[in-house]
Amino acid sequence: MASKKLLLLPGDGIGPEAMAEVRKIIAYMNAELDSEFVLDEGLVGGSAYDAHGAAISEADMAKALAADAVLFGAVGGPKWDRVPYDVRPEAGLLRLRKDMELFANLRPAICYPALADSSSLKKDVVEGLDILIVRELTGGVYFGEPKEIRDLGNGQKRGIDTQVYDTYEIERISGVAFELARTRANKVTSMEKRNVMKSGVLWNEVVTATHKAKYSDVKLEHMLADAGGMQLVRWPKQFDVIVTDNLFGDMLSDIAAMLTGSLGMLPSASLGAPDAKTGSRKALYEPVHGSAPDIAGTGAANPIAMIASFAMCLRYSFNMIAEADRLEAAIAGVLDDGIRTGDIMSEGKIKVGTVEMGDAILAKFKALAA
Ligand code: NAD
């Protein structure tokens, strides 16, 4: 890839604190590994509202569209709870997803061996877990029309949401899942509710046809989404890549997330379609957690989700697989050493703050590169 234009949008609350730790890793990679990242920065969420009266300015939106990848921190906080609905902090993230046409949301659920004890499930059920949920992000019941509350005129109202999927939407999200499976354990589980939903019947048909046409080397299985939720909690290691729609993906990815412990550990990526000329995809990487106003400014935030989001960025936007592997190994290594932020602290471990955790991961990353 010719350029590595990276836009940093730290956002609000702990977003900037976590982003500062990624910035240190990028500075090291540029100085010592000739990685040649070109950084730009913008405002999003409450900080953008304070500066521009919008959840993201047009200039920063243009920067996001021109970047090879966007790293997003977190938005929101009590200060902006009463701002008008269309400029609320989350509107910045929704605008980015919409204008960058990010239709594929990737949520890995990885259980680091050092944290297997902090899951609510038994250690042997989660230890070493490594699954990836691919959620369709721009269609389905959250966006389908009609979407309204209708007054029936007899003292009753009717709430209506519409689940809609077109063939092309299912083809492109399942294509992402099959391609990612090829880089992992080569298995995709597609989840829908074909027993009660027409959109589920179509989903099942299109995933099957896409598999047959282009990806028959990948193992494919189908599961009803409710059974999938149950299996995720019963024996999650049976899965490699799970592909599902917007609504089921929203729920199943949160269930999978909690298998692995703290919110402060979980990265995510949202990808668009490949550019017809360059083959590169628009992409945004962000931790799953929010702006954590309760601990913002105290130096206690866990930066691992943000750093792991950057590792996903190395892997999926820049094809820097060795560096991504090494950064993820550095995170695992620091946890093995017993270093913990408050959210993942347990007896006998060494409690550190955001900066010390970032420093420890960077030192391990450097050591692994030597
Ligand atoms: P949250 O994720 O911010 O915090 C939930 C709890 O987890 C808090 O106790 C917090 O201290 C803890 N936590 C979260 N991330 C942590 C980290 N990295 N290290 C240590 N502890 C961490 O969710 P919330 O409290 O429901 O929301 C707070 C604000 O964030 C709200 O304004 C909400 O709208 C916003 N939010 C933003 C996003 C986003 O930017 N994508 C996502 C969720 C919530």
What is the percent of the chain with per-residue pLDDT over 70, rounded to a whole number? Answer: 99
CA of 341 to the centre of ligand 1 (A): 15
Pairing of β 130-136 and β 104-110 = antiparallel
What are the start-end ranges of the H helices in the chain? 15-32, 46-52, 58-66, 89-99, 123-126, 167-182, 198-214, 225-234, 246-258, 304-316, 321-336, 354-369
**Is domain 130-258 classified as CATH 3.40.718.10?**
yes
Of 107-121, 242-256, 257-271, where does the model show the most confidence?
242-256
Distances (CA, A) of 200 to 69, 165, 170, 222, 358: 32, 9, 10, 11, 44
Handedness of CA 131, 137, 143, 144 (dihedral sign): negative
Q: Which of 291, 344, 361 to mutate to test the pocket of ligand 1 (most atoms within 8 A of CB)?
A: 291
What integer is the mean pLDDT of 222-247?
97
Mean pLDDT of the chain: 95
Strand partners, 132: 108, 241
Domain residue ranges in the chain: 1-110+261-370, 130-258
Q: Which residues are annotated as a binding site for NAD(+)?
A: 77-90, 290-302
Q: Of 3.40.718.10, 3.60.20.30, 1.20.120.80, 3.40.50.1110, which CATH number belongs to 1-110+261-370?
A: 3.40.718.10
**Cα–Cα distance measured from residue 126 to residue 112, given in angstroms and rounded to the nearest whole number:** 9
Q: Which one of 14, 289, 304, 309 would you pick to mutate in the ligand 1 pocket, going by the greatest count of ligand atoms within 8 A of its CB?
A: 289
Quote the Cα angle for 47-51-57, to 5°.
Answer: 85
Residue type, 324: A
Domains 1-110+261-370 and 130-258 are alike in CATH topology: yes
Q: What are phi and psi of 178, to 5 degrees?
A: -65, -40
Pocket of ligand 1 from Cβ distances under 6 Å: 14, 74-77, 93, 263-264, 286, 289-295, 301-302, 305, 343
pLDDT at 225 over 90: yes
Q: Is the pLDDT of residue 1 over 60?
A: no
Distance separating alpha carbons of residues 292 and 315, to the nearest angstrom: 27
Is position 250 annotated as part of the catalytic site?
Answer: yes
Is residue 209 over pLDDT 70? Answer: yes
Q: What's the confidence (pLDDT) of residue 174? A: 98
Residue pLDDT, tens place only, 148-207: 999 999 999 999 999 999 999 999 999 999 999 999 999 999 999 999 999 999 999 999
Nearest residue CA, atom 38 of ligand 1?
290
